[in-house]
């Protein structure tokens, strides 16, 4: 539905703070296929389940749902540019993985 009614461009933004209070911010910017960005982790998790590669059982912590490098690779393949800004840094810069 989003593909039919929504804009092809989009941005998804996360602000993450660790236990020490250090922050990083991720922005995922897409000129096209922006509607895919929020579902990529679920797609990768479903593929891992279907392929028998997901070994966790019961209540699984969010950081174990998918491998971050796989998310970044998938996003880049569909044309989404992941950007990062760490605490104390100025501008966003491309994620280097």
pLDDT in tens, 53-84: 888 888 888 778 888 888 888 888 888 887 77
pTM greater than 0.85: no
3: helix, strand or coil: helix
* Number of domains present in the structure of the chain: 1
Q: Has residue 50 got a pLDDT over 90?
A: yes
Q: Can you give the residue range of the structural domain that contains 17?
A: 2-94
Rounded Cα gap, residues 78 and 52, in angstroms: 24
């Amino acid at each position: 539905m989003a593909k039919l009614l929504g804009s092809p461009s989009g941005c998804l933004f996360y602000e993450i703070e660790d236990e020490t209070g250090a922050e990083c911010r991720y922005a995922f910017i897409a000129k096209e296929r922006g509607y895919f960005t929020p579902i990529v982790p679920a797609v990768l998790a479903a593929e891992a389940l279907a392929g028998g590669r997901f070994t966790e059982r019961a209540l699984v912590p969010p950081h174990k749902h998918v491998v971050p490098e796989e998310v970044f690779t998938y996003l880049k393949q569909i044309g989404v540019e992941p950007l990062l800004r760490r605490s104390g840094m100025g501008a966003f810069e491309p994620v280097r993985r």
